Structure formats: structure tokens, C-alpha cells
Structure 1
């Protein structure tokens, strides 16, 4: 369904200011949303900041919703930590907080909560015992980067929905280091950030809308003790692949003894095939999907799509290489959902398997795209998603991922779980949808097969 074009992770920031010359079916415009502006006509980043109590209140709502039902955290007694990490925009205004999640007083991950009353209430969740400490280590003044000004304090800069950078220094001496997917390494993106600072500041402004303001107020009202008796706004929805329901890992490739990935990782190409590493997210998504269809969804019908052992990294990497050869991403990666679909179909045909991408020409709206995702997951078919927002070489923009779960709680908060770079991440579905529609002329979208 929903044909949209996108490329891959790992492209240079400066490249993403260019628009690929491809035809697309346009996403729905967000032009009808009005921004909150000050007297000069600019969005005021300090319109109103949530209190510490309200940040905890919102975190608790997601703990008692998505995290209570999710297989990574189900059965755990989770509390939000008050030892939060502030997240800044490029003008050093706080726009969100990274709230560590605690279980038995031990950190198990984080949830990023919006701090502005007219922006999103939450952005992403990452469950990993060491991730928050890894971020603190990167923020430490002892960070061993030769060009860092050791006397300046470091800040964690956030570009929604999921980009984290360390900013150090001031004015002409500012430096920006992007946190890599493992949060244990960084990459200098200072030049790229400076070149696109105006565009990024506009992106911050677009967070603040009347729609988000109304939604934030409703969330705060509904999560207060006085409102606890309120009737649910919507019916809870929880659609997931069968491995999610059984608390299993999606496409579990053994990366070291007893350690398994959550799907393929284009980073496995970094040492031997750097071009594949930077262009390979679509082939990885295709490898994930064909493996899952063959091994889990319907082995009798789809077994020829993958003949190796899923847990074998050697076997799965060979499959990633095969899918790369079929898709053959260009300099900007695979920027077409249509081409991606046709190449997966061709691969299936060559393997004597009948497999078709499911299309849907409904208007590209939040509810319609969510309905499409639910249909795919309801068939136990992973859903590929392409996001062509053009910020930088960050993995989750200009990038393909594989959706394994869709969740909507009774307060109409929506989350998706995705496989990306071999890890499981949870993303606020509203932010993901809006990022796809941000640069509607480039395209983007979703696709599952049956």
C-alpha cells in the first residue's frame, strides 16, 4: 500500500538537501495545521514548558499503556526516574526530556517525553540496560575527542523524532557529534548541522501546533487523579507479529555467543562493503520480510524464500547480499516503494513462490495508514516502511525499517515497534507519520506482502 520514495541511512548530511528525480504518489499535506507564533510571527520555543510533575505524569501514562503490554517490559514494575536528561534545540532551549525507566531501581532504558505544551507528548522508547549510562558517558567532560573544548559543558541536542547529538562549545566553536545507533560511539556532523541550521530550526518550529497543544492538554487532563474515572477515549488496539505475542525476537540472528539481533543490520557490511553499509537499509528490510515469511508466516507456501538458518549470521548475511543484488540501491539508496516491491516480487518469482505486494489507494492519513499496518500484522506479515524526511545521515530518516507491532492505548496514544540496524525500537506513530509527510514531494510509505 501507499507508495512513497525514500533512500537509505548513512548518507552525508549535505546530500539530503537534494531531491531525487523520481515520481511519487504524494503523502497528504500537513499545511492545514497552524503554528503557534509570537508577535514577530515566529514560533516561540519557550511558549510553555511542562513541569517535572507533568513530565512524570506523561511518562507514567505510557508505562501503564504501551510498556505494560509490550513483550520487552510486560510483567515488570516500571517507574520513571527523576534523574532526567534534558534535550535541547539548537538555540539551547529545552524541548524534551530523556526519562530513564527503572525496574527494581535499575535502569532498563528510556522514554523521551516532550517538554512543550504545544508539541508531542512522547517521541521514542529504547529498552536496553546500558543505553542511558552510555549516553551519560558521552556527555561526560572526560569525553576523549581531540577537538572538544574540555572546559565547556556538553548538552544533548534532540532533533525529533529520534536524532540525538552532543553539542559542546559556544558560538563559532560549537561542535556537534551525532550519537550512533549503539549510543556508544559518535560521529562529527558539525559542518552539516551548521549548513542546515536554518532548516533544522524550522523543523523545531513545526513541532508546535494547535493540534498538538489540544492533544497535550487532553492527555494532561485525562491522566490526573481527578480524571481517572473518565471513560476510555478509544478501544485499545494491539497488533503484532506472532513472535511478538510469544515474547520472541524478530529474525533472531546470533551476533555473538547467546546474543541475538532483532532483524538484520546493515552495519554488518561496514568493514567489508562500506557502500552496502550506507545504501543497504532496503535490502535488509527485504531480507527480514522474506526470512520471516519463509520461516514463520507460512513455511509451506514461502519456504523457498529463505533456505538458510535464521540464527546463522553467515547464512543471513548471504541472504542480505542476495537481496541487495536484486534491489540494487543507487547513490541515494532505494528511494521507491514501487521498485522495492517489484524487486521482492521478482525474487519470489525466481524462487517459484507466488508473492504480491499489497497496495491500497486510500488517502494517506494517520488512520488509513494505521489500518494498513494492522492488516499486514494481522496476516503475520511484517510491514516495510520508508521515511524520506531529509535531515541528515541519521539511521531513522531517509531510511527503511520493518514494522513488527502497532499499538494504540485507550487515550489514543499510538506506537510502532520496528526492526532497524538489528535492534528493536519503539516510535510514537504520530511522529513517524508526520515525518513521512513532512517532505511530501519526496514520497515514502509502507508495504507488506502476501
Structure 2
């Protein structure tokens, strides 16, 4: 679901604070880049104060770490020779400072996607990875989109951690903001929302900076090979069986290819498109349990053809009726679980939520996710943080993989908007816990 209507902000806060919120972990054409514009004579990057900014080689070093770690093991890039391009795309904060870079990923000089790497020494080392042959091209195109004001105006990509990408266009001192949605393909004017929530955005820039992040960043930059040996943890790579078999998750035929799970934009009604992420997650999970996990036990949960968009969209419609998202979408993990259980009961299938009453911590939630994946049960996750136009806020996704390397970098792979995205798990967890009183969390079934 998308962020909704700032005019409802005060009502929304009242409703959420005084509603029952679960507290357990279960509920819970390239444009060339000129580096001379960024790099000073001493090799450090411009635009942010000397004490906070990483050097140009350090940004590439962090990208290399994740290329040799997560990407070396991931199904989308395993056994492929991937390098980091030096044609970085700067990502700015709302004060016109560079805070991160979209680093294009290359395979034999061909762009295959990007990794967003932090530029602040006390911020996160990375944010997300998107593997798609046209992902970088679309970033460049957004900066030259002729439909957005005049082509000569100043344009920047604004990044609000953990996952918000917006286009900022400046015209004679006036700034407009456009959301870059669904893998940064479409543009939607969100100027009013940005202006009304500017204070919250600015607070986000402060909350990502921490001594813990700086300590971890320093360990990486002091030589991550040595750090791996000195402070190694056990590598973990836990995923659904389709991931292990290098197959697609809920592969619905969409145009010339196959999606990675359902896409709420397939709904015909705009209200369903805005509120439908919870029903899509429910459709993904019930389909997977029926077709992959255990057809003999769960088969009645989905009787259609998975690859048929018509069949799967009919299933999405059914799940929309059960989940019944309101004006703000489905904002209760427990309510989501009840809807899925009710659907299963009507199909005469014994299916129940799995709960965990342990403290809502990084390690405990990771353990919960891994437990679901080890049962070959997709894990739904809900993030209710803040009131911006962030695709991953106020949004349900389906987790298909959890990864942790020996330096304690953690990633999750998710199905969202019919795409596979990889998200730094620390940033996703922190985004949920920053506004924990509003809810959010994780849920799987067996």
C-alpha cells in the first residue's frame, strides 16, 4: 500500500495509538559520471562535511564487499562475474547533501542493476540491491524525463533511508518532488506530502546515524577481509526451496516474462491498487503453500494455474475480500493472520499462524524469519513506519530469503510489486522499530 493523505495524519495517529497493536516478533543510453565533480584532490568526496563523508574508493570498497558476499551467493548473480561501475549516481538528502550512491553493477561492462551504498561514515553501509537490466537506465531517464517541467531544470534523486527514492526538480528556487515508483519507473507528484512531512524526513537522516553504524563501517573499511577473520560469525543462507533451486517465486506470466509474485497494480480499481499489498502477500503465501510447500495438505488453497495472470488475479481478488483492507490498508499483523486463517478454514484446510512471544530484537526476528523459511513457508512482513511516499512503508511484502555473511551483513530477498528486491535487513528492521508503537512485524503459517 502507498503512503496516504497527510490531511488524515492526526486522525491516523489517534486510531493507531488507541488500537490493539501486536507486540511479538510474529506480529510484529547511459549518462557518463564525472568523478572530478565529486572527488577532491585528497581523494575524498565533496558536498558533505569532511568528518562524515566516505572517500570515493571507500564507496567502491563497500560495494565490492557485497559483490563478494551476498551477490556471490544469490540466485540472481551466483556464478556471474560482477563488478562495480565507477559511474556512480549520487543520492541526496533534502538539504542537498550527498548521503548515498546508486552504484551500477556490471557484468562484462553491461549494467545489470545497482546497489545503493551509504556515503556517511556513521550511516548504513548499504541499503538495497535491485537486479534488473534496465534499472540503472531508468534512474538516468528519470533525471531527464521531459514530462516533468522543463528539460533544463536542475534535477536530483533524493534518498530518504531506508528505501525512499524521489526526483527533486528545482525551477527558479521552487522545488517539486516526484515519487519514483515500482522499480523507479513511474513518476507521481508528492510535493505536498514531502513539504508537510519535512520534519519527519529530517529526523530520519539523524536516526540512521549511530555509533554502532560507524563502528561497523570502520571495521569494513579497515580491511573487511581481516575483519571477517577476526570477528567472523557463521554464514547463513536460508531460503524457500524455489530459491535454492534457482526458480521463480510465484511466477505469474506478465507480458513477455514472469513476475516474482503478485503485483497490486494488476488490480483494476485504484483503491485496490493503493490498498492491495496485504491481499497480494496473502495470495502469494496461499499459492506457494498450495503449489510448492505441500500440495497434498494445502492444495485447496489455490486451484488455478500459477503462471496464468487471469487465474492469479482472480485469487488476488478473493484474498482482497478476505483481508478487507480499509482506507489505510491492512495495518494489523494479527488481522492479516486471521484473514488468511479464515480463508483456509473456508477451503477446509488446516492452516494456522505461527507466533513468537520473544522480545522484538534483530536476532529474534531473524530467527523467526529463518524458522518460516526452513518450513518452506513464505514470511509476510509489514512496515508501518512514518508517513511518506516510500514504496516499502505502509507496505506488505513477502520474504523469500534471509542471508547473513561472516561479517554480520544481513539481507532479505522479498517479493514486492511483482519484483524481487534485496534489502539490508538492518535497515528494514530499524524502519519497523523506529515507529514500533504503530505496529508492523512478521507472520508465517503452517
- TM-score, with normalisation over the residues of structure 1? 0.90
Q: Which has the higher contact order (CA 8 A, sep 6+)?
A: 1
Moved more, 387-396 or 18-27: 18-27
Q: 1:237 to 1:189 in 2, by over 3 A?
A: same
1:12 and 1:392 in contact (8 A); partners too: no
Does 1:361 pair with 2:357?
yes
Q: CA deviation at 1:93?
A: 0.5
Q: CA deviation at 1:25?
A: 3.2
In 1, Cα distance between equivalents of 2:324 and 2:60: 46
In 1, Cα distance between equivalents of 2:427 and 2:306: 32
2:24 and 2:358 in contact (8 A); partners too: no
Kindly provide the CA deviation profile for residues 167-204 of structure 1, in whole angstroms up to 9, marking residues without a partner as x.
12168511111111132220111111111111111111
Does 1:78 pair with 2:82?
yes
State which of 364, 374, 379 in structure 2 corresponds to 1:378: 374
Indicate the residue corresponding to 1:322 in structure 2.
Answer: 318
In 2, Cα distance between equivalents of 1:409 and 1:232: 11
1:27 and 1:436 in contact (8 A); partners too: no
Indicate the residue corresponding to 1:9 in structure 2.
Answer: 2
2:379 and 2:442 in contact (8 A); partners too: yes
1:341 and 1:447 in contact (8 A); partners too: yes
**Correspondence list, 1:14-93, <5 A:** 14-15=7-8, 18-19=12-13, 20-21=15-16, 22-26=19-23, 46=49, 47-93=51-97
Q: CA deviation at 1:48?
A: 1.6
Q: CA deviation at 1:230?
A: 2.8
Q: CA deviation at 1:138?
A: 1.1
Q: CA deviation at 1:164?
A: 0.7
Secondary structure (helix, strand or coil) at the match of 1:174 reads strand
In 2, Cα distance between equivalents of 1:342 and 1:228: 45
In 2, Cα distance between equivalents of 1:152 and 1:430: 36
In 1, Cα distance between equivalents of 2:379 and 2:228: 36
Q: CA deviation at 1:211?
A: 1.2
Q: What is the number of residues matched between the two proteins? A: 420
Secondary structure (helix, strand or coil) at the match of 2:183 reads coil
2:228 and 2:406 in contact (8 A); partners too: no
In 2, Cα distance between equivalents of 1:212 and 1:303: 45
The runs of 5 or more residues in structure 2 that have no matched partner are 26-46
Q: CA deviation at 1:15?
A: 4.2
Does 1:303 pair with 2:299?
yes
CA root-mean-square deviation:
1.7
Secondary structure (helix, strand or coil) at the match of 2:329 reads coil
1:239 and 1:405 in contact (8 A); partners too: yes
2:104 and 2:114 in contact (8 A); partners too: yes
Indicate the residue corresponding to 2:200 in structure 1.
Answer: 199
Q: CA deviation at 1:229?
A: 7.8
The runs of 5 or more residues in structure 1 that have no matched partner are 1-7, 29-43
Q: CA deviation at 1:238?
A: 0.2
In 1, Cα distance between equivalents of 2:179 and 2:260: 23
In 1, Cα distance between equivalents of 2:254 and 2:340: 26
Does 1:393 pair with 2:389?
yes
1:14 and 1:192 in contact (8 A); partners too: no
Kindly provide the CA deviation profile for residues 12-40 of structure 1, in whole angstroms up to 9, marking residues without a partner as x.
35545632332113479xxxxxxxxxxxx
Q: 1:303 to 1:229 in 2, by over 3 A?
A: closer
Does 1:345 pair with 2:341?
yes
Moved more, 17-26 or 48-57: 17-26
Q: CA deviation at 1:245?
A: 0.7
In 1, Cα distance between equivalents of 2:388 and 2:7: 7
Kindly provide the CA deviation profile for residues 378-414 of structure 1, in whole angstroms up to 9, marking residues without a partner as x.
0000000000012323321010000000000000000
State which of 144, 147, 169 in structure 2 corresponds to 1:145: 147
Indicate the residue corresponding to 2:212 in structure 1.
Answer: 211
Kindly provide the CA deviation profile for residues 257-278 of structure 1, in whole angstroms up to 9, marking residues without a partner as x.
4x10000000001xx2111111
Indicate the residue corresponding to 1:245 in structure 2.
Answer: 244
**Correspondence list, 1:98-109, <5 A:** 98-109=102-113
Kindly provide the CA deviation profile for residues 104-158 of structure 1, in whole angstroms up to 9, marking residues without a partner as x.
1100000000000000000000000001011101112xx2235x24433211100
